[in-house]
């Protein structure tokens, strides 16, 4: 979806408008949806269902210098903001069968739904195609068993070859769409290191490549567009305050676009996106098979994308 939530699945915000010279064009990626203990499924092999809800508020549009963008309205130029509500349903299977280099194979499917609001609504530059299905994410992965120490696990990690398919709602007449109308390859490496049995550090490092969009925004007057490549990272550190029940800590994400966007095959200058989000979080282990994550983020250092605040709720259930 053009609203990048970070997925994105999800969940991140993205816009395409002539004002920003085709910046704001990255698809939805995972910004803040995952956090603590990310290096392995919480209950070993089997089927998992996860539900994410992310609330994004006061997303002020920023230009290449990080300054507020303004859009034309009947009252003149006004600062523009976006609010978004994003839901992602995930089904994953972790096998107990080794496939390559000791890694056990698995499969992950994620389906987002996005709704968003523009402020001011009566602006002449941006419109939205809201409350629709986003792009389907499919990812085969390899999960390695934890490396154990004398007091429990020391390190656990996974590699997933995540793909984003252009199945979501898309209309070239709108600047904001749940779907991106392009295929993206978004592989990642997720890991958790146990500094001590109670203290963990986790990360998920993604690379993002995007194919061409053969139907870009009509205002651009182009045959095709292509968002640049990017790297993005989720990071978190938590401490166990209630044995086997509650961990609290700090969580964050960082996105950095590393190549410029293209229009009809030509590079566009000043279109690279960037944002940093950070805040507190917790994970509550209801049981061995049910887990609840709550994460808050405040964004800063945004360039060519929105800068606001996120609240992420995530529920994980393992089928016994």
Question: Of 3, 311, 312, 283, nearest to 134 (Cα)?
Answer: 3
174 and 168 Cβ atoms separated by less than 8 Å: no
Q: Which residues contact 106 (CB under 8 A, 6 or more apart)?
A: 92, 93, 94, 95, 140, 141, 142, 143
**Residue 22: what pLDDT?**
53
pLDDT of residue 117: 87
Fold of 18-318: Porin (2.40.160)
**Long-range contacts: 266-269, Cβ < 8 Å, 24+?**
268/21, 268/22, 269/21
Distances (CA, A) of 204 to 71, 144, 233: 35, 15, 6
Structure tokens at 202: 């986790």
On the question of a cis peptide bond just before residue 120, with omega within 30 degrees of 0, the verdict is yes
Q: What span, in angstroms and rounded, lies between the C-alpha atoms of 250 and 62?
A: 25
Kindly list the distances between the CA atom of residue 43 and the CA atoms of 37, 234, 291, in Å, as whole numbers in the listed order. 11, 21, 10
Per-domain residue ranges of the chain: 18-318
For the purposes of burial, counting CB atoms within 10 Å of the CB of 86, is it exposed (0-12), middle (13-18) or buried (19 or more)? buried
The predicted pLDDT at position 143 comes to 98
Q: Strands 163-165 and 188-194: what pairing? A: unpaired
pLDDT in tens, the chain (320 residues): 343 333 322 333 333 344 444 568 899 999 999 999 999 999 999 999 999 999 999 999 999 999 998 888 888 888 889 999 999 999 999 999 999 999 999 999 999 999 988 888 877 677 777 778 999 999 999 999 999 999 999 999 999 999 999 999 998 888 788 899 999 999 999 999 999 999 999 999 999 999 999 998 777 778 899 999 999 999 999 999 999 999 999 999 999 999 999 999 999 999 999 999 999 999 999 999 999 999 999 999 999 999 999 999 999 999 97
Nearest to 253 by CA among 176, 199, 310, 316: 310
3-state per-residue secondary structure call for the chain: CCCCCCCCCCCCCCCCCHHHCCCCCCCCCCCCCCCCCCCCCCCCCEEEEEEEEEEEEEEEEECCCCCECEEEECCEEEECEEEEEEEEEEEEEEEEEEEECCEEEEEEEEEEEEEEEEECCCCCCCCECCCEECCEEEEEEEECCCEEECCEEEEEEEEECCEEECCCCCCCCCCECCCCCCCEECCEEEEEEECCCCEEEEEEEEEEEECCECCCCHHHCCCCEECCCEEEEEEEEEEEEECCCEEEEEEEEEEEECCCCEECCEECCCCCCEEEEEEEEEEEEEECCEEEEEEEEEEEEEECCEEEEEEEEEEEEECC
For residue 216, which of 180, 163, 186 has the smallest C-alpha distance? 180
Give the per-residue pLDDT at 124. 64
């Amino acid at each position: 979806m053009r609203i990048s939530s970070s997925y994105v699945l999800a969940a991140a915000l993205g816009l395409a408008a002539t004002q920003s010279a085709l910046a704001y064009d990255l698809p939805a990626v995972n910004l803040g949806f995952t956090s603590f203990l990310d290096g392995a499924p919480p209950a070993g092999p089997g089927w998992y269902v996860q539900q994410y809800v992310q609330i994004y508020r006061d997303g002020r549009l920023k230009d290449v210098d990080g300054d507020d963008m303004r859009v034309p309205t009947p009252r003149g130029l006004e600062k523009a903001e976006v609010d978004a509500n994003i839901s992602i349903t995930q089904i994953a299977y972790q096998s107990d069968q080794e496939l390559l280099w000791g890694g056990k194979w698995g499969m992950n499917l994620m389906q987002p739904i996005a709704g968003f609001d523009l402020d001011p609504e009566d602006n002449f530059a941006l419109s939205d195609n809201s409350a629709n299905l986003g792009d389907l994410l499919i990812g085969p992965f390899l999960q390695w068993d934890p490396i154990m120490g004398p007091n429990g696990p020391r390190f656990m990690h996974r590699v997933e070859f995540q793909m984003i398919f252009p199945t979501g709602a898309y209309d070239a007449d709108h600047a904001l769409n749940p779907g991106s109308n392009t295929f993206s390859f978004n592989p990642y490496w997720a890991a958790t290191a146990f500094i001590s049995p109670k203290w963990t550090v986790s990360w998920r490092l993604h690379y993002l490549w995007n194919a061409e969009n053969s139907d870009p925004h009509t205002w651009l007057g182009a045959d095709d567009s292509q968002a640049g490549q990017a790297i993005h990272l989720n990071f978190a550190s938590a401490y166990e305050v209630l044995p086997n029940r509650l961990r609290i800590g700090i969580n964050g994400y960082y996105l950095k676009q590393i190549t410029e966007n293209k229009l009809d095959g030509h590079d566009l200058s000043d279109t690279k996106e960037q944002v940093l989000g950070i805040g507190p979080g917790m994970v509550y282990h209801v049981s061995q098979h049910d887990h609840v994550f709550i994460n808050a983020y405040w964004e800063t250092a945004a360039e060519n994308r929105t800068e606001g605040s996120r609240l992420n709720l995530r529920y994980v259930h393992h089928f016994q």
